[in-house]
Each structure stands twice: as C-alpha cells, then as structure tokens.
Structure 1
Amino acid sequence: MTNRSAHQRHLPTSPFKAPAAQAIKDFTLGDRVSHDRYGLGRIIGTELTGGAVLVDFGSSQTRIVSPYTGLHRL
C-alpha cells in the first residue's frame, strides 16, 4: 500500500503544471486581520521560531500557527 498523503515529486518532462508554492504570509504587531472562523482581530504577538501569531479577537485570544490557514490581513 502507498501513502497518498506523501508529497509526490514533479517530473520536469510532465505535461502537467507543477503545484504552485504557497506564498509565506508575514504579520507584524498591530496588524488588523480577519479569520474565517474567529472573525476580526488584531495581532498582539509573534513567535519567530515557532512560526505562530497570537491574535486578539475581542472575546478570546488565539494562537494560530503557520501556514496561517484562514487568516487574512485587512
């Protein structure tokens, strides 16, 4: 059996396009953000080594790790 979740390499001779690399999002303190689940918030902390940000959504503070899925800068 094979593991389908494993990364498959792209052959240069393939007629299909290689999957596009996701752009790395960069947030700084004080940035206003929107999250798909939590709503509007503000960045109140960043972790350089862990690749995570701490976001204050008013009613709660949430730590969101990289690749920051669902988090968008306003």
Structure 2
Amino acid sequence: MTTSAGSRRPLPTSPFNRPAPAAEPIERYDVGDRVSHDQFGLGRILAVEGDNAAVFVDFAGRQGRILSPFTKLAKL
C-alpha cells in the first residue's frame, strides 16, 4: 500500500501548518521629520521618493538614500 504525501492529513500541532505572519506596515516619513539611523546617527528627511519607496536623509552634512523597508531608521 502506498500513500502519496498530498493525500495525508497534516497534524494540527505541526509547526509547518502555521499561517504566514502578517507583514508590519512600513513606516511613513515626511520631509522635515527627525530620524535616527543605527549606523549613521541622527538626521533629517530631505526628500521622499515615490510612495515612501526611499528617503533622502541629511546626517549632519553627510547625505544618504535609505530604501524601504527602513529597518534601521526610526522616527523621533
């Protein structure tokens, strides 16, 4: 007797049956917002590109473009 994997009923306690976690909403930034970056420090948003796809930030004279999803950037 052979059983294909597709016809087996999954165990209710299996860690592989869990639904994917809901994605957290991406932080929205506006021009002039004060921010903190894990690597570059404090800065101010100079421009927002597209629908918050990227932001241009001035970090005390050094400017950088940070791409979404802004994991290392926090609004102050």
- Normalising to structure 1: TM-score of the pair? 0.72
Aligned length: 61
Task: Give the number of the structure whose alpha-carbon radius of gyration is greater.
Answer: 2
**Counterpart of 2:71 in structure 1: which amino acid?**
T
* Matched-pair identity in %: 51
Structure 1 counterpart of 2:32: 30
Q: Where do 4+ consecutive residues of structure 1 move more than 2 Å?
A: 16-20
Indicate the RMSD between aligned Cα atoms, in angstroms.
1.9
Query: Is the alpha carbon distance of 1:48 and 1:20 closer, same or farther for their aligned partners in structure 2, counting shifts above 3 Å?
Result: same
Is the CA contact 2:27–2:70 (under 8 Å) kept in the aligned structure 1? Answer: yes
2-side partners of 1:20 and 1:36: how far apart? 25
Unaligned runs of 5+ in 1: 1-12
Structure ranking higher in helix proportion? 2
1:1-74 superposed matches below 5 A: 14=17, 16=18, 18-48=20-50, 51-74=53-76
**Counterpart of 2:61 in structure 1: which amino acid?**
S
Cα distance, 1:44 vs structure 2 = 0.5
- Normalising to structure 2: TM-score of the pair? 0.70
